[in-house]
Amino acid sequence: MEFFVLEHKRLWRTPRVWICVLLCFIYCVGWGGLLSYQWFDFGTPDDPTKGIYGNKFDGYSAIRNWQELADSFGDYWTDETLPEMVETYRSMQPDAHLQSGADWVLALEYLRDLYPELEDPEDQPFQPLMLYADTSKMDDFYGRRAELLEFTLETTRQNEGMTQADKDMLLEMNSQIEEPWRYEWVHGWDEVTNNLSWAIEHLAPYLAIALAFVFSGEWHNNTAPVLHTTKYGWKKLARVKIMSGLAFAVELYLLVIGCHVALQLIYLGTDGWDMPIQFMNLLAVAPWNMLQAELYHLAFGFLGVIGYAGLVMLMSALVKNNVLALVYSLAFIYVPDILTRFLPNWLKALSQYFPLVGSSFDYLTYNVFHIFGKGIWSPWMLITVPFLIGIVCIPFAVRGWARRQRV
């Protein structure tokens, strides 16, 4: 334990590491967290020509206004909720400040998907659907959704290789969704999950910069003569370095994501945690609420950074050159995205299981992975496979570095 503490302090005291952590905090928490909530994501519009950066610095008060507006539509989504939202939109249409963060996009999506017959492009060629759709015909919301879901899954089964067993499994999941849906301000939770996903995705380059030199740096600094005198042995020293690197990855994750969760509680509170995720994707089949979705994002990130840290340290152990170790580590993150248009579908799907590469929003899709003929819902694979990749990399990193040191 004492050896681990010494090595971990050594890692943190490296100028490259603490500068990297500082920059990560400023970018992922300051820019992508605090300023996102207070300014460009939730601030009310002031100068439309500047896009989101033309918003006012009033996110906290704006969020309260939008929450109050959502509360006025009731606690549950019924057949009366959508018509009421449309009528309210029409009465408040000139007030762009209040509309910018409200759930009007949600209402428009439901109109287009569930009530396409209300759209009249010939008689209303320049009018938004929300302004002229007949609210008296917006009925049977849940029945229409069920029909659209059945049609979508059947189309997917016929065109994209989904089996009947996959379809039945997804419909069974969907049958567990309670109706009517609990409703509060949806846009806020949508942004919360987007911010978490963004922050997790942007941890990768900072982890690579901090951990790619854990082993290769010893070669770069020519410390082999000193390491040859160690009383702990090569393998124990390598294990301590691995554990120190994994601990750093977890600490960086907790620092960044913990601050995001704290900002969420300050700005949005806990209202709406029990809304179903179907508000983020009308045809999602997972019987989860917003809190469960957020916990999935947190698990995806936590297990992903551990898996990625193991992969980075394997590259560091196998390559003596610091630059190559860093380039190889970053390649696992960015090359699949760069080459995605040129990869066959099976290889594209396989690349999503690299640590921190896949989407943490996969629970909104119908992706099913098959192992020995048995279908497994893809989100479970996306949080376990990257973690297992990192764990498998650890013994190879230990052996690879110890073997190089003995040479």
pLDDT in tens, 224-235: 544 544 555 567
Which contiguous run of DSSP H or E holds residue 374? strand 374-377
For 20, residues 6+ apart whose C-beta sits below 8 A from its C-beta are 206, 209, 210
Q: Does residue 91 sit in helix, strand or coil?
A: helix
pLDDT on residue 109:
93
Angle at 297 between CA 296 and CA 300, to 5 degrees: 85
For 242, residues 6+ apart whose C-beta sits below 8 A from its C-beta are 310, 313, 394, 397, 398
By CB neighbour count within 10 A (0-12 exposed, 13-18 middle, 19+ buried), where does 15 fall?
exposed
List the chain pLDDT tens, one digit each, 407 residues: 788 898 899 999 999 999 999 999 999 999 999 999 999 899 888 777 777 788 889 999 999 999 999 999 999 999 999 999 999 988 886 655 456 688 998 999 999 999 999 988 776 766 788 888 999 999 999 999 999 999 999 998 888 778 999 999 999 999 999 999 999 999 999 999 999 999 999 999 999 999 999 888 665 555 554 454 455 556 788 889 999 999 999 999 999 999 999 999 999 999 999 999 999 999 999 999 999 999 999 999 999 999 999 999 999 988 878 889 999 999 999 998 888 778 787 788 888 899 999 999 999 999 998 888 788 999 999 999 999 999 999 999 988 876 655 54
Query: Is 312:211 a contact under the CB 8 Å cutoff?
Result: yes
Distance CA 14, CA 274 (A): 44
Distance CA 238, CA 216 (A): 12
pLDDT on residue 281:
96
For 268, residues 6+ apart whose C-beta sits below 8 A from its C-beta are 63, 188, 189, 192
Beta bridge partners of 375: 370
Query: Is 46:55 a contact under the CB 8 Å cutoff?
Result: yes
Distance CA 236, CA 362 (A): 39
Q: CA distances (Å), 287 to each of 62, 196, 225, 278, 362, in order?
A: 30, 21, 59, 9, 14
Distance CA 130, CA 166 (A): 36
Whether the upstream peptide bond of residue 225 has omega within 30° of 0, thus cis, is: no
Quote the tokens at residue 267. 């700005």
Q: What is the pLDDT of residues 239-288, one digit of tens each?
A: 899 999 999 999 999 999 999 999 999 999 999 999 999 999 999 999 99
